[in-house]
Amino acid sequence: MPKTQLTKDKLQQKVKELLESEKIEAFVGYGEGDLSLKKIPLVITRPEDVSKLTFDQTSTPLLSRYLLDGELKDKKVGILLKGCDKRALDLFEKENRINKENIYTLGISCNGVISINKMSEYLNDPTEYELNFDGEKVKASSKTGEEVEFDYQDILSPHCHICQSPTPEDVDDLIENEASEALVPIKEDGIMDSIIELEKASKEEKYQYFIESLNRCRRCFACREACPVCNCPKCLFDIENPRFLDKSTEESAQHQYYHILRAFHVADRCVGCGECERACPEEIPFYLLHEKIKKDIDEMFGEKEDALSYAYPDDVEPFEEGGEA
């Protein structure tokens, strides 16, 4: 039996037990979507629906942000968590945005997720293929019978190459994935090779690289919507006519302003999932911008010191309608 099927069976059995024993009222996991390469978030409330749950290397969206949803916020909820998703949940708890007493955390040891952008280097349209994982090899099969084989590590999301904790810690229960340790190449320094290369460039070259990248933005906000930690109840960029912000989507300078501001907004909160880049239709390399800022903050303030972000329930909302601050 394939290892992915074993993992799926263990997941479904555990969730069934949780729902039948009424330890939880709902469970947030992954289900099949319309595209074979993209699992979608799925909420189930009945034991007979556990067969809809699945998990594999295409389960890319982070689920923790759905616990901020009004319909789930006051329920006893179980949730499936990869390492990056657990980091986001820990952040929500620190910011007093969830009641941990109502949440059952079911961790799963992650062996990384695929990058469709990486797959595009091998296939004209990756979404037309079904994937079969066999250890460190992946076979892509099209409906027309074409088959292409490549190394799994070559199509891993860039963030997964440097993930320091793919297996979530301090969870209520954990589903082991035996293939995890063999497939994820952990870099002990947690620094991407591409950042090291970027730092070798001159100041002018780095500036030009980021300007050209950010100017491709369509201001669709897909990066913000996919990000588990960029979820303020009231976003600065959704406010009507703020005095300090030109909302034009035609001005390149406004694209740069949006992305620089967002990068600093999530700088010490980024959990390294890479969802922003996977969601971007223009393939803007957000991971370089975010990881570079994180690296600089760590060097200046020390790792895991929450250098920029503190939040309390009675914090005053600084941004009002109309842009008054």
State the DSSP string of 44-100. E-SGGGGGG-B-STT--S--GGGGGSHHHHTS-EEEEE-HHHHHHHHHHHHTT-S-G
Who contacts 156 (Cβ-Cβ below 8 Å, separation ≥6)?
A: 112, 113, 114, 115, 118, 184
pLDDT at 324: 46
pLDDT at 152 over 90: no
Confidence band, pLDDT 50/70/90 cuts, at residue 233: confident
pLDDT at 49 over 70: yes
| Average pLDDT of the residues in 151-178 | 87
Confidence band, pLDDT 50/70/90 cuts, at residue 31: very high
Q: Name which residue leads in pLDDT, 170 or 269.
A: 170
Pairwise CA distance, residues 46 & 44, whole Å:
6
CB 281 within 8 A of CB 288: no
pLDDT at 278: 87
Confidence band, pLDDT 50/70/90 cuts, at residue 184: low
Share of the chain above pLDDT 70, in %: 84
pLDDT at 314: 65
Confidence band, pLDDT 50/70/90 cuts, at residue 181: low
**Least trusted range by pLDDT, from 15-29, 97-111, 152-166, 169-183:** 169-183
Pairwise CA distance, residues 16 & 79, whole Å:
13
pLDDT at 13 over 80: yes
Confidence band, pLDDT 50/70/90 cuts, at residue 315: low
Length of the chain: 325
